[in-house]
Structure 1
Amino acid sequence: MSDPAADPPAELTPDATALYARALGEGVLLAGREGLDWAPERIAAARGQLAGLRLLRPSGPGRWVPASPEAAAAELVGPLELEIRRRRLEAERTRTLLRPLRSLYAEAHRERGRSAAVELLPEVGQVRALLDEVSRSCAREVLVSQPEALEGATLLDSRPRDLDLLARGVRIRTLYPHVVLASPVVQRHFALMTEAGAEIRTTGEVVDRLIVFDRRIAFLPDRSRPGPPGALVVREPAAVDYLHRVLERDWDHARPFARTPLGYGDAADGVKRAIVRLLAAGHKDEAIAHRTNMSVRTCRRHIAELMREWGVESRFQAGVLAARLGLAGEEGGPS
């Protein structure tokens, strides 16, 4: 049977305190002669608590003597402190054992960074760790294209990193599709980030996620396998420069974010223009929805509204009319 005093009580009840005071006054506590008008069960409970806290010690059958709180604490806490010291020594031995490998790892990591023009990170944890590392060393600019609104967990993960970059004077520019403006949550996030100094624009189409740090390293999603995508990390200067210039071109044709009370706001025409351009090119609804980062159902609703607005009965007529009106050109061009 286990010792009931092995696991001390979590608190000291008023009954236990009163019984302890009685024991101190008498110098001894005798079973059945406690001098308290309590039921036996109540006395036993208080006595058991004092024994668990090492404040009462048996000195014979039905006889207990009080111990000082200091002695009780030493008996209870002493083994814990010994275990803590043992754990600390074990931790320090582990650190000492691994310390010589730190410089080896750092040098290998630097060499890999210098030599690996393209690196594949299959695990999300690896991607986040490298993003944090590159963010800490970023000095000038982060340029991002984001094809969809970030989920809550991802926002919580990325927002502190972005705010830290802005606080250090790093310029952050992010490009989103117009359709994300339909979400009030997204608009609140955009407002918070722009107030902190970030620049956000929206456009008709965003192909996929791309992050470029200081024009020296780029992150692309790796969707070659099922499950959450990893990342392709590009360090080759010519390739990074090309990706940056492509993203810069899309940025130049995009619309600056302006908070609106409902829907796409000023970006509504941009949404229509993107749909019309793809309609005129002969794309099907599914392809248009994918390219404009919206659901097929929402895409078909927009197409139906355009056809009603223009008084045409077929997608082909809509495409022809769009070309004739100059609406099928690139966003930012003539309308």
Structure 2
Amino acid sequence: MSEKNLLVELFVEELPPKALNKLGEAFSSVLFETLKYQGLTAENAIVTTYASPRRLAVHATNLLAVAPDKTSTQKLMPVSVGLDADGNATPALIKRLQGMGLTDAAVANLTKQMDGKNEALFLAVTQKGVSLKDGLQTALNDAISKLPIPKVMAYQLADGWSSVNFVRPAHGLVAMHGNQVIAVTALGLTAGNQTQGHRFEATMSPVVLKNADTYAEQLKTEGAVIASFAERRAEIVRQLNAAATKQNLKPIEDEALLDEVTALVERPNVLLGQFEEIYLEVPQECLILTMKANQKYFPLLNSDGKLTNKFLIVSNISPDDPSAVIGGNERV
């Protein structure tokens, strides 16, 4: 059977930042496990989760176009009920077979097996394997319905009549098996092979995906988006440390803040800001709290662990001249 890699992306308006990572993991996990339950995944399948402020996506390797058929043995009834003294089918057995869409000819295919202390009639049933399109539709519906959404909103679709409920309005759906589009639907959308990049810095709009495997790279080069939450987080850490080292300072460590800013930007750009030193007369705990909680800044500390008048901004844009961005943040 044909095995190719699968990509599914749901493109939406900005997702709740404190819930983004959890939403991404849940979307990926439920979608893959539902595909696996239907027999559409290979044993060596590898799943990669993507989550950025405006998208939830999953890439899975080695997905089958059609699941293999499954054969199971189904118990029908005790032999004493299904067959008469001459071994012929009773009306009860015929009725049971008809209820399963079978004719009297199926009696010849029945087997007798012990079921506890009594002998029973069993029928070997072959269940045709589900197609990837049907299986993915089930998995997508399941993944969306089971998302741990903090608060659902209702919004109207483009037809002006229908409405759906989701965490944020959805504007795009991608589903690709290799380079083939799988026309599943969700939230009033039909899947294609196009997505959107950064609101301001994408070099291509839309980003037309070549196949399931080029998703992350095309988003990065054409869309100016780092789709992976983990990769984006690591890039922020790298830039924070590099910027702080240049000042012979160190950024405050706060894992929750790091997760939150990772969920706020699609391509991070760390900038250095500062405020007047006179404000250092305010207790540093108060300054640190307001910088982290309200502005999402990373305060910079000296070697003694004391707050300085410098801080780091994780911006979502990378202008040639960042002075306006820095100045705006310094005035806050």
TM-score bin (small chain): under 0.3
More helix by share: 1
Larger radius of gyration: 1
More strand by share: 2
TM-score, normalized by length of structure 1?
0.24
| Structure with bigger RCO (C-alpha 8 Å, 6+ apart) | 2
